[in-house]
């Protein structure tokens, strides 16, 4: 194999000289084609989207993430045990208050972080950029 590699490099040296410049050919741009005429319509655009949630998916996804933390599951379990009359240590409604408070504060924090990601994505997606055009201009 080493000999073949050496022969290949010698063959290249014997052929044309390699130039220091190169030409890059762009793919055919269909910027003037609209709707069904554009063959690139099936491909994704280049928008940045780093948000985790949508309006419909926020509550289920957030609760799913929060209940993956063992502490949250544990405290909800303890609060639910207070609803069993033989095991209740104090009023069952009061046992839910701290758990609901922690879950609510965490959900609000996650919502705020996701909103900030959305604003950042929007700012980046609306920045001016240079686009190469085959047609000039």
Q: Is the pLDDT of residue 5 over 90?
A: no
Cα radius of gyration (the chain): 30
Residue 27: its pLDDT value, please?
58
56 SS3 class: coil
Which pLDDT band holds residue 55 (cuts at 50, 70, 90)?
very high
46, 129 contact by CB (below 8 A): no
The 8-class DSSP code of residue 99 comes to H
What is the distance in angstroms between the CA of the first residue and the CA of the last residue of the chain?
Answer: 50
The 8-class DSSP code of residue 19 comes to P
Q: Is the pLDDT of residue 10 over 90?
A: no
Q: How far is CA 4 from CA 7, 14, 16, in A?
A: 5, 15, 20
15, 21 contact by CB (below 8 A): no
Q: What is the average pLDDT score of the chain?
A: 80
């Amino acid at each position: 194999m080493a000999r073949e590699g050496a022969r290949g490099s010698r063959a290249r040296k014997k052929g044309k000289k390699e130039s220091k410049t190169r030409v890059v050919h762009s793919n055919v741009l269909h910027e003037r084609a609209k709707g069904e005429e554009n063959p690139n319509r099936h491909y994704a655009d280049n928008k940045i989207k780093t948000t985790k949630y949508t309006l419909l998916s926020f509550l289920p996804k957030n609760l799913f993430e929060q209940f993956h933390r063992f502490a949250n599951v544990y405290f909800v379990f303890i609060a639910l045990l207070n609803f069993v009359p033989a095991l209740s240590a104090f009023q069952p409604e009061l046992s839910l208050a701290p758990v609901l408070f922690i879950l609510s504060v965490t959900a609000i924090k996650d919502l705020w972080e996701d909103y900030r990601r959305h604003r950042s994505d929007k700012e980046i997606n609306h920045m001016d950029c240079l686009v190469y055009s085959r047609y000039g201009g």
